Every structure is written in structure tokens, then in C-alpha cells.
Amino acid sequence: MPNKKVLPPNASALARITRHQIIIPLAALLLLAVFNLINDPSFFSISLKPNSNGDQILSGNIISIIDNGSELAILALGMTLVTAASGGQDISVGAAIAISGSVMLRVLCGADARAETLQAPIIVAFLVACLVSMAFGAFNGALVAFFKIQPMVATLILFTAGRNIASWINNSQLPIVKEESFSYFGNYIPGIPIPTPFIIAIVCFIIMFLVLKFTNLGLYVQSVGINEKTSRLNGLNPELIKLMTYVILGLCVAVAALIKVSRISTINYSVVAKDIEMDAILAVALGGNALSGGKFSMAASVIGAYVIQFLTTTLYALEVNAAALPAYKAVVVILLVVMSSPAVKEKLAVVGKKFRKNGAAAEKA
Amino acid sequence: MKAKKFLAIFTSTALCAAMLAACGSSDSSSKAADSTAENVSTAEGGAGGSGELIKVGIINNDPNESGYRTANDKDLKAAFSKENGFDAQFSYSLKNDEQIAAAQKYIQDEVDYLLLSAADTAGWDGVLKEAQTAGVKVILFDRTIDADESLYEASIVSDMAKEGQTAVDWLKGQGLDSYKVIHIQGVMGSAAQKGRSGALTDAAAADSSKWEIVAEQTAEWNAEKAQQIVQSVIDQGKDFNVIYAENDDMAKGAVAALDKANIEHGVGKKVIVMGFDCNKWALEELLNKNWNYDGQCNPFQSQYIKEVIDKLQKGEKLEKKTIIMDEKGFDASTITQEDVDKYGI
């Protein structure tokens, strides 16, 4: 990832890792894993069993985590870019998923919500949803980039209106897709024991990795996020880059919507992907990325997303009382966020330095 | 710069246009309202004949909130039409202050009846007193409020606790040797959750030798969350034979998890699946014997409201202020296609 370059080349491998921001979500992941290992080692057991279609599939808590956390991880990709470039977050992604999913079902089912056969190929529905989703992304991006509206305020528009728009698209009906192959995206492809959402997520990670590696997108986004004026003086176009990050997030939204809608082959406008925007922002924050923009680590955000899902699954496994669930989640989140705050990090760095000095002194003596 | 500004304005206008287009197309959805309109015409009383239109102001929650609300809104719209002798105005909001503002506007417009489904239970005393002094008669539907009974004429509600009790009684009637229940709750604290949870919790507490709540967790009316919860129970290798989901969406999510784990469900199978709300697709699942039970939450309040208005118009007195609607529970072994068409929302 791009900010590796900031480290001095002669730093030891351990120092490089501990100083990299990825250490925060990794530590959280490790913490949760150790906790579960002590609490109940069978948490990690994975087995190969047939599902009701007779296909062999993997199942177990870990599979549930990588399965259910995938939408969030995909969203975290786009959210990281948006955060880095515009120094703000898009709070409309949940509503945008509702719109995108609604468009997909509208194209698939046509005017009849109970169509027995697909009215259009799935790929066409997905591409249309991508376009719509990117257009809404561009709408958000334009408000932020050209009209200089605070991202949270700009995206508040879609956050409030989005689910109603989604409902209008289908005349307030709830279409149900009867076609078997549509459910593959949110479940399993026959013959492949790994959950499809995870496969889709991996493909997205690889594409994002390649884009960041072989284009200057990452560098440009960071420089716009750090200092807009300077990057303009250096020949970059900050508006265009901000707009682009929102469009990319729009694309991520469409992919996440495909998975969400496919999971149950229908949609409920008011609850689909509810509160996912907050989880996506949390994933970015857990990844140690500054929410005020600038440098970012994509891998850290992705791990952050899976940490959130890990936490949810752990709490389910612990059978925490339903009413108390948000409180438990809040406590863990506070701990993680405080751990990754700059103030604590500085303190830790000072302690670490002292420790190392003492160690060196002891070696000399 | 100019070109970019143009681009920005262009994209925003294009999107606005898209939203408007989406609004426009929603008008064509009168098909689904037909069935409810039929329902209503049978209940039509003498109100239509008088020649003068009765002015009603209807304040409801956002019809996009849920399938229940959509059906409720369609039912009201069909019932309080010009043909039936009403001049109805509608306003929608999920926020109390906006609803109160709408109520004040209707009072100024001198409506005869104010029909209200309050977003929040508190804060209505002031505006209802205004209505009383202005001679506007208030009828509550779907939701009650914390106000003195003298401030409204009637309150037409669902009894969520009764819905839960009906469902649990049905479950008791299945005569299983042991009930190992996964209880998937709605948004905690909501009236539907409290009512539907109560009966089950009581039943389990009353006979703990037979009843065991294997897992009890809120999925916040959300199908995917319900799926995750059931998946988590399966992953831990726990045994269960009943899924009690407090709405249809969550039951659907739970069933998706069962299918993934190859656990049989439905009539005569290992796991009994129970849902609420009577969505059309859910009743179809019953018809196909994939689910076992679905409890109704009656959204068709208009005929009850019209009966009340008829009585008040004739100067008759109501027997009681709180009117509880009839609500059914459907069993997969007895449900018919007719039920699906009539009661599905």
C-alpha cells in the first residue's frame, strides 16, 4: 500500500509492521480470535456438508464471517477512497443499496412483480444497476466536489430520500425473483463450496489492488486529501478526483446490492442494508485511516470490515441478550477506536522507544 | 472550470429528473388496490347517499415503511374516495411534529373527521384539545396514544399480544414432545415486538420441562440479520424444531439459513416455521407447505373506521371507544388459494 514508502528503508521488519496502521485492525482481529479460542474452541470448526440442493458447502462460524462480512468489505473499499479524497464520509450507501437493488429487481422482473421467468438477463440488470448507482454516486460527488458541500450534508439528501426512491422504482411492490441462478450471487454456486459473496469480494480486492498498483489513483487521492491547493498547483484536478471516488463508491454499492438482493431473492426497502453506512465508516476508522482525509490503507479498511462482522458473529455465538447487543458492540468499538486514536498511538510509540532504548542499553552492558 | 460546473449541474438535474420520473410511474399501480376496494364496498354504509361530502383529514405513517403500511394506505385511499361520499386529504410522516403540524392544518381547514395513526404516543394532548373546541371528531387507527380518552371518539387497533397468543396457542396445539424454539424478535421495544414476544416468553416460562428457547435475538425486522442469527445457532450445533419469527421477512431469512444447512422445514418436516403479517408471498409459502403458520396483522382498518363514522353521522353512540380488529392466524395445512388472495398484503 502507498504509505509504506513513508517509512525509512532501513527500519527493521518488525518496526515496519508495528508502525503500519494495519496493526490496529489486525490486533483487534487477533484479540477476537483469541477470545473465541478460549471461550469455545469449536467456534473455529469448519465442516463440509450438503445444503438442501445437495451441493457440498463449507459451513461454520468462520465461513459465516467471511460470507456475511463481504458486502461491508466491498463498501469499505469505496468508502476508504471517498474518505481519503474528500475528508468526509458518504452516509447514503445504505439507501443507495436499496435503490440499486430495486433497479436490479425492476429490470429482472419487469412490470410484473411476480414474473415467473426473468424479463432480462442478470448481467443486464446488474449493469443497469451499476450505471444508476454510479450516477447517484456522481450526484453526491458533484455536490461535494463542485458545490463544496460537506460530504455528510451532501449525502444526507440521498440518505433521507433514497429508500423512498427505491420504493417508487418498483411501485412500492416487493418483487420476488424465482430464477434459481439469481440466488447464486448471495449463496453458493453449485459445485463450489466457498460462499459466492466472498469470491466476489476477493475479485473486488484484486481489482482495487491492481488499480492502486498500476495507476496513480492512490497517490492522487491522497494528495488531494492532504492538501487540495498544493495538488492543484501540481497539476491535479481535485474536483475530478473527488467526483471519481464517489463514482467508484457507487460501483461498490452496486456490487454490494447484488449480493444483498441475491441472498433472499427479494428486497425490503426500509430495512435492506440498514445502518450499513455506519459500519462502513467504522470499518474505515478501525483500519486506522484518518476520517479527515489524506493517507489511507485499503487492506486495513478491509480487515476492519471483517473485524466488525467477526464481532457480530461472536456476540451471536455468545447469546448476548438482544436488548443489550448494541451496548456490547459499543463498548468494543469504543475500545478499538480509542486504541487507534493518535493520542494513544503516540503514547505507545514513546513507551516502545523507551523499551527499545533500555533493551539496547542492556545489550551494551 | 466552466465545463465542470456545467457537468455538475447537468448531473444533478439529470438525477432530479430521474427521481421525478420515478414518482410519476407510481401512479399506474392501481391494480393491487382493486382487491381491497372490493373489500370496502361491501362495508359501505349510508354515508354515500347524503349528497354532501364528508371532509376527512387522514394522517398516516409513510406508506413506504413496510408492506403493511402500503396495504393500509391503499385501503384507506380506496375507502375514502369521492365516489363513497368523502372528501379526503392525506398526509404522511414518520415524525410526530410534522404530523401535529398536519393535524393543525386540517383543523383550520374545518374537516369533519381527523383520522390519525400517530408516529409517537406522546405529545398529542394540545392539538386534540384544539380539535375538540373546533368540533373536529378524532378517530385513532392502528396506533394508540397517551392522551385522555375524552379527546377522541374511537381507537381502532390491532392487539399485538393477542396476535402472539393466537400463534402460541396454535403452536401448543401441534402437540410436539418438546419445543426447542429459535425466537427472532423485531426492533426491541416496538409494540409488535412486545406483544408477539410476550406470549412466547410466558409459554416457555410456564412449562419449562417441555419448552426451551434455544436462542432469542433481535433481527430488527431484517431478513439477512435473521439469517445470520439462525446460521449462528446451526454453526454451534444446537438442536431446534421451531422458528418463531416476529415478521415474514425474518422468517424468510431464517428459512434461507435452514436451506443452506439442509434442515427440512414446513408441514410434517423437522422444523416448524412461523411468521407474522400475512404478506402475499408468505401465504404462498404456506400454500406450498414450506412454512407452517402465519399470523395476521390486519391493515384493512377502513371498514371499521367507516362503521364508526356512520354511527356518529346518525348520532348514535359507540358501545366502546377501543375497537380491536379481528385477526386471523393461518395454518399451512388448511390455507386455501382464496385466503391468499383475500388476506395477502
User: Model confidence over B54-80: pLDDT tens digits?
Assistant: 999 999 988 876 778 888 998 999 999
Q: Across the interface, which of B5, B185, B260 has its CB nearest the CB of A146?
A: B5
Q: Note whether B178 and B221 are same-domain residues.
A: yes
The answer to the question of residue B181 being in a domain is yes
* The pLDDT of residue B8: 62
* The pLDDT of residue A54: 84
* The pLDDT of residue B40: 40
CB A98 within 8 A of CB A267: yes
Beta carbons of B12 and A143 less than 8 Å apart: yes
Q: Note whether B168 and B283 are same-domain residues.
A: yes
pLDDT > 70: percent of chain B: 85
Q: Note whether B148 and B202 are same-domain residues.
A: no
User: Residue type for A111, please?
Assistant: A
The answer to the question of residue B327 being in a domain is no
> How far does Cα A142 stand from its chain's mean position?
22
Report how far residue A302's alpha carbon sits from residue A288's, in angstroms, rounded to the nearest whole number. 11
Q: Note whether B135 and B230 are same-domain residues.
A: no
> pLDDT tens, position by position, for chain A (365 residues)?
444 445 555 556 666 666 678 888 898 899 899 999 999 888 998 999 888 888 899 989 999 999 999 999 999 999 999 999 999 999 999 999 999 999 999 999 988 877 788 889 999 999 999 999 999 999 999 999 999 999 999 999 999 999 989 989 988 788 889 888 999 999 999 999 999 999 999 999 999 999 999 999 999 999 999 999 999 999 999 999 999 999 999 999 999 999 999 998 888 888 888 889 999 999 998 888 888 899 999 999 999 999 999 999 999 888 888 778 788 888 888 887 787 677 887 887 788 778 777 777 776 66
Residue the block writes with cell 468526509: A88
Strand partners, B92: B60
Beta carbons of A187 and B8 less than 8 Å apart: no
Q: Note whether B167 and B256 are same-domain residues.
A: yes
Which residues, at least 6 apart from B167, have a Cβ–Cβ distance to it below 8 Å? Answer: B196, B199, B200, B244, B274, B276, B293, B295, B329
The answer to the question of residue B147 being in a domain is yes
Q: Across the interface, which of B216, B236, B253 has its CB nearest the CB of A264?
A: B253
Mean pLDDT (whole number) for B280-293: 93
What nine digits make up the cell of A365?
552492558
Beta carbons of B227 and A51 less than 8 Å apart: no
pLDDT > 90: percent of chain B: 56
Name the fold adopted by A2-7+57-319.
ABC transporter involved in vitamin B12 uptake, BtuC (1.10.3470)
Q: Give the minimum alpha-carbon distance from A270 to chain B in angstroms, rounded to a whole number.
A: 6
Q: Note whether B100 and B248 are same-domain residues.
A: no
What are the Cα distances from residue B250, in Å, to A94, A98, B73, B245? 19, 18, 23, 6
Q: Note whether B273 and B165 are same-domain residues.
A: yes
Q: Give the minimum alpha-carbon distance from B83 to chain A in angstroms, rounded to a whole number.
A: 24
Beta carbons of A322 and B32 less than 8 Å apart: no
Beta carbons of B32 and A173 less than 8 Å apart: yes
Report how far residue A316's alpha carbon sits from residue B231's, in angstroms, rounded to the nearest whole number. 10
* The pLDDT of residue B6: 62
**Do strands A56-59 and A47-50 pair parallel, antiparallel, or not at all (unpaired)?**
antiparallel
What nine digits make up the cell of B275?
411468521
Beta carbons of B15 and A319 less than 8 Å apart: no
pLDDT in tens, B75-108: 999 999 999 899 999 998 888 888 999 999 999 9
What are the Cα distances from residue A133, in Å, to A32, A182, B22, B52? 35, 19, 15, 50
- Domain with residue B203: its CATH number is 3.40.50.2300
Q: Note whether B251 and B134 are same-domain residues.
A: no
What nine digits make up the cell of A271?
430495512
Report how far residue B52's alpha carbon sits from residue B57's, in angstroms, rounded to the nearest whole number. 16
Q: Note whether B147 and B43 are same-domain residues.
A: yes
Mean pLDDT value across chain B = 85
**What is the domain extent for residue B293?**
160-297+332-343
Strand partners, B275: B294
The answer to the question of residue B169 being in a domain is yes
Report how far residue B111's alpha carbon sits from residue B90's, in angstroms, rounded to the nearest whole number. 12
Report how far residue B242's alpha carbon sits from residue A23's, in angstroms, rounded to the nearest whole number. 43
Mean pLDDT (whole number) for B178-205: 91
Q: Note whether B144 and B233 are same-domain residues.
A: no
Which chain B residue lies closest to A166 (C-alpha atoms)?
B22
The DSSP symbol for B343 reads H
Q: How many domains does chain B have?
A: 2
The answer to the question of residue B99 being in a domain is yes
Q: Note whether B121 and B222 are same-domain residues.
A: no
Highest mean pLDDT among A30-34, B21-25, B242-246: B242-246
**DSSP states of A182-250:** GGGGTS--TT--S-HHHHHHHHHHHHHHHHHHHSSHHHHHHHHHH-HHHHHHTT--HHHHHHHHHHHHH
Is pLDDT of B47 > 70? no
Q: Note whether B79 and B165 are same-domain residues.
A: no
Report how far residue B99's alpha carbon sits from residue B76's, in angstroms, rounded to the nearest whole number. 17
A-to-B residue pairs, Cβ atoms closer than 8 angstroms: 139
Residues of B in contact with A50 (CB under 8 A): 262
Q: Give the minimum alpha-carbon distance from A323 to chain B in angstroms, rounded to a whole number.
A: 6
Q: Give the minimum alpha-carbon distance from B6 to chain A in angstroms, rounded to a whole number.
A: 10
